[in-house]
Structure 1
């Protein structure tokens, strides 16, 4: 009887401990990984060990309450919280640029938004604008089909995060060493040539990453301590509207020779200051099912989490681990062994492990994103609207919400080119006319270069940027519209981290040091400048332009800059590629 009582007491104690002490990101790491971090881990890894970033999911509300009660100021936030751990809540401090404020990076798989979410964001930005002004309280569409909200104080951010579940959105685990927003085709379900609809895959992957299976709440500690950021994309066809090959992991839809639909698996694409690389084919095809995609993603993420490098952060992205394993073939064998041994439901006997599957019978031509185009149902159209360099005011967010409610069933979609698509529209011309009044900067017929221009945040808000990018990219693209008259993709990025993805553009401008002779002194002086990349491609045969054709080109004289770019384009015989 006494033994039974002791057993019952211990069982109750264990359950109590489990309830009061939920798992953290550190608790999922093998001891060998923790030991490696203690010995060779960089400063950020040590900070993550000192206090698990998952603590931020509750600390956020305590800090916000303290700020409201004036018992804490933003200056008093511990640096590890303000600059690292709060990023697990999607909050990036922008204290150097706009003191006391954060940028909130949201998550919306496949870039699909609802009008109620846009209204919620606009309301939050309106509150922020009281303090920072409307030029700072803005939203930016990202190159991952996502939105970033700027100018929020910590208490404003906490209030917004508490409301996000009401509009089926989260911002958990959207920054730093986490799996970022899951990218899919913006034409999912409405493209006549798609092999499959990417939406269920993107939604399932987002839930895998962000929902804690123990609590069924957002914030999943299982993936809360990765060595570095990790990008995943799901592509619907060889036209590749998701830009699969620049992701750490991508699933490319492909029909096998036996007629079955599935995915080719590619790994290792990324941009960084040290190195940028195109993804490589694993030579692995898997049958198309959500469970198969989740199993492969889980297996790869576990390998990356447990074995990835924790020392030099410039050598910690997933491709470095793939190469350390011996390359694509060796990593594929490692992955297949893990799937066979640990994932009992995975159909290991149905995969093709010899080569990636070709899609010879499928159209590889990319469709234009901007303008009016028929859908599978000829009575409905999709309407793509150009958003100059992805920047939206709070009034424009509300205008988009109004238009979506009246014309596209309250739905709109974001593209990786930082633009907006309204699906399932019955009267496209009425929609365009409405936005022409309420959001006149947006256009269905932009210029041939400005309509294909992508820009990172730039020095206005980003502490890493060398140059200002948004307004600069707008001016240069408009001048190239007039000078060239042909569609070219212009990407502008503020620093070598290449958030603006210049290596995949027809014309890429990367912020860089430059010098110009001072006419008064005859000496060289430092001026804003850029490195110029030419000839990157997207789609079925995508490739990156990894080396600049020109370094240190001054940008302070824009007449001179535009002339130099035109000369380079003519010299390199650059052809129109944008669609």
Structure 2
């Protein structure tokens, strides 16, 4: 393994220096000490940075109240785990909350440093981990939200996603092999036809593809078929990312792999990136910058060398040929007599009461399983036909509806300035209020995906939205105000593509009429006819 020490110290950025001074995972053994010291007495580098290696994030806008980021591979947890998360949030009263993220994950807010030992013990008891969920690590690994439930799926992603997580994190215990990447790294595996994981915005993504294989055609390491046949596997995409400096869609690696080789290919790509990624300029440290410097052919060759065998060329076409589904509502599973139900969680925000209720619903009506989606919503699977009528009567469905209005249905938002020091604007509550106001004025015959993000780091992914809103500083009447840059035309599902910025610096207080006109002009909305009584 090559670490940051191989780079001349004069070219190390400040983050590489702090990693060289002390491994981020070292703080695992210091949690009790941090809890007794209190946040104000801690070493600032430990507090502000190294704690992120165990999923704990200092937030300057809420000093003393930390955020915790989980690891939930494929976005799956159970009622017992959700109940523990709810108990953690509950202890902080009005200051405690949770957010579902665009990586099928959950972040907890209001956490106090003195409670960390007890919280980590509670997590361990129910099989939860936060390890390596921040800083220069692989983020939560996404897979199909309805994996194993969908009769039309091509591959059940759950086991592969878990295997990758276990490889990267040493089964949740922490793994120094992959805890010092040049920057963060996103991995996604698609198992269906609708690209539910937004493959193109990941550093590494696997999309389903069938390959025509003839006897003797398979390269060393693969079993040659006895007769020509189509074999299922994945085309590999690399380099997708959003940052304040640059946004790029992932590009083909020109590689096709069998499911049983996915974990090894992930390891090889991560090793190549870890040992060769650019570390001097942090703004140029994501995987795509290395691919730019080397070229895709050299990058592939390095991966093959690390893997120890040649890889087959990608197929010309993959199997992503459906429009994107959001899974909100009631759907038949491939298991006879069972259903999965998608609940709309407005902008992904949860409180303890809502979390307890979701845990109860999953336990009473389903199999205790709960799933998260990249649209910040929740799926409860395995609900028998015989109890659906009773399920529909639950009061919580008034808050987390199965039939939301078109704009609320597809609304996504990052944390915003309420909790994040990078955000330039408040997002979540503003987004909800503005969608409700627009829906009072407009009739829409289909959902319109509107994504809010508080800053150019693009956690809210405005580039993949029908309408994307990126927080910025605008000016009105000569004074600075909160504003947005507007993106149009992002597409998910088949033929996915990134949207483009069409307007800059719109003051938030002037945004509603602008969105009103965009919805009419581009998305078929019509003004409601008001009838005087």
TM-score (ref. length: structure 2)? 0.92
How is 1:473-484 mapped onto 2 (pairs within 5 angstroms)?
Answer: 473-482=431-440, 483-484=442-443
Indicate which of 465, 468, 476 corresponds to 2:426.
Answer: 468
How is 1:329-408 mapped onto 2 (pairs within 5 angstroms)?
Answer: 329-340=297-308, 348=309, 351-353=311-313, 355-359=314-318, 364-408=322-366
CA distances 1:9-68 after superposition (whole Å, capped 9, x unpaired):
xxxxxxxxxxxxxxxxxxx435xx41315231101110111111111111122211x2xx
How is 1:547-562 mapped onto 2 (pairs within 5 angstroms)?
Answer: 547-556=500-509, 560-562=510-512
How is 1:380-529 mapped onto 2 (pairs within 5 angstroms)?
Answer: 380-426=338-384, 427-434=387-394, 437-438=395-396, 440-482=398-440, 483-485=442-444, 486-517=446-477, 524-529=478-483
2:66 and 2:111 in contact (8 A); partners too: yes
User: Structure 1 residue 195 and structure 2 residue 154: aligned?
Assistant: yes
Looking at structure 1, the residues matched to 321 and 484 of structure 2 have their Cα atoms a distance apart, in angstroms, of: 37
Q: Report the alpha carbon displacement of residue 433 of structure 1 after superposing the two structures with TM.
A: 2.0
Indicate which of 110, 117, 126 corresponds to 2:74.
Answer: 110
Instruction: Show structure 1 runs of 5+ residues with no match.
Output: 1-27, 67-71, 341-347, 518-523
Aligned to 1:36: 7
1:255 and 1:357 in contact (8 A); partners too: no
1:195 and 1:254 in contact (8 A); partners too: no
Aligned to 2:143: 184
Aligned to 1:91: 56
Aligned to 1:534: 488
Q: Report the alpha carbon displacement of residue 570 of structure 1 after superposing the two structures with TM.
A: 3.9
Looking at structure 1, the residues matched to 61 and 413 of structure 2 have their Cα atoms a distance apart, in angstroms, of: 18
Aligned to 1:283: 254
CA distances 1:421-449 after superposition (whole Å, capped 9, x unpaired):
01111133422322xx2463210011101
Looking at structure 1, the residues matched to 185 and 415 of structure 2 have their Cα atoms a distance apart, in angstroms, of: 20
Looking at structure 2, the residues matched to 477 and 566 of structure 1 have their Cα atoms a distance apart, in angstroms, of: 10
CA 325–575 in structure 1, closer or farther in 2 if over 3 Å, else same: farther
- Give RMSD over aligned pairs: 1.7
Looking at structure 2, the residues matched to 529 and 286 of structure 1 have their Cα atoms a distance apart, in angstroms, of: 45
How is 1:132-147 mapped onto 2 (pairs within 5 angstroms)?
Answer: 134=94, 136-147=95-106
Aligned to 1:158: 117
Looking at structure 1, the residues matched to 373 and 338 of structure 2 have their Cα atoms a distance apart, in angstroms, of: 20
Indicate which of 103, 111, 121 corresponds to 2:85.
Answer: 121
Aligned to 2:226: none
Looking at structure 1, the residues matched to 183 and 524 of structure 2 have their Cα atoms a distance apart, in angstroms, of: 37
1:106 and 1:146 in contact (8 A); partners too: yes
Q: Report the alpha carbon displacement of residue 203 of structure 1 after superposing the two structures with TM.
A: 0.5
Q: Report the alpha carbon displacement of residue 359 of structure 1 after superposing the two structures with TM.
A: 4.1
CA distances 1:146-172 after superposition (whole Å, capped 9, x unpaired):
000000111213311122122221100
Looking at structure 1, the residues matched to 411 and 396 of structure 2 have their Cα atoms a distance apart, in angstroms, of: 23
1:531 and 1:548 in contact (8 A); partners too: yes
Indicate which of 54, 61, 78 corresponds to 2:43.
Answer: 78
Q: Report the alpha carbon displacement of residue 575 of structure 1 after superposing the two structures with TM.
A: 6.1
SS at match of 2:324: coil
1:477 and 1:490 in contact (8 A); partners too: no
Q: Report the alpha carbon displacement of residue 176 of structure 1 after superposing the two structures with TM.
A: 0.9
SS at match of 1:549: strand
TM-score (ref. length: structure 1)? 0.84
Looking at structure 2, the residues matched to 262 and 164 of structure 1 have their Cα atoms a distance apart, in angstroms, of: 35
Q: Report the alpha carbon displacement of residue 357 of structure 1 after superposing the two structures with TM.
A: 4.5
CA 508–217 in structure 1, closer or farther in 2 if over 3 Å, else same: closer
Instruction: Show structure 2 runs of 5+ residues with no match.
Output: 213-228, 526-533
Looking at structure 1, the residues matched to 136 and 172 of structure 2 have their Cα atoms a distance apart, in angstroms, of: 20
Q: Report the alpha carbon displacement of residue 108 of structure 1 after superposing the two structures with TM.
A: 0.6
User: Structure 1 residue 45 and structure 2 residue 3: aligned?
Assistant: no
Looking at structure 1, the residues matched to 321 and 497 of structure 2 have their Cα atoms a distance apart, in angstroms, of: 19
Q: Report the alpha carbon displacement of residue 200 of structure 1 after superposing the two structures with TM.
A: 0.3
1:237 and 1:254 in contact (8 A); partners too: no
Q: How many residues align?
A: 505
SS at match of 1:529: strand
SS at match of 2:473: strand
Aligned to 2:516: 566
Looking at structure 2, the residues matched to 489 and 106 of structure 1 have their Cα atoms a distance apart, in angstroms, of: 26
Looking at structure 1, the residues matched to 291 and 502 of structure 2 have their Cα atoms a distance apart, in angstroms, of: 29
CA 400–179 in structure 1, closer or farther in 2 if over 3 Å, else same: same
CA distances 1:72-103 after superposition (whole Å, capped 9, x unpaired):
23111111101110000100002x22221210
Indicate which of 187, 194, 214 corresponds to 1:232.
Answer: 187
CA 575–156 in structure 1, closer or farther in 2 if over 3 Å, else same: farther
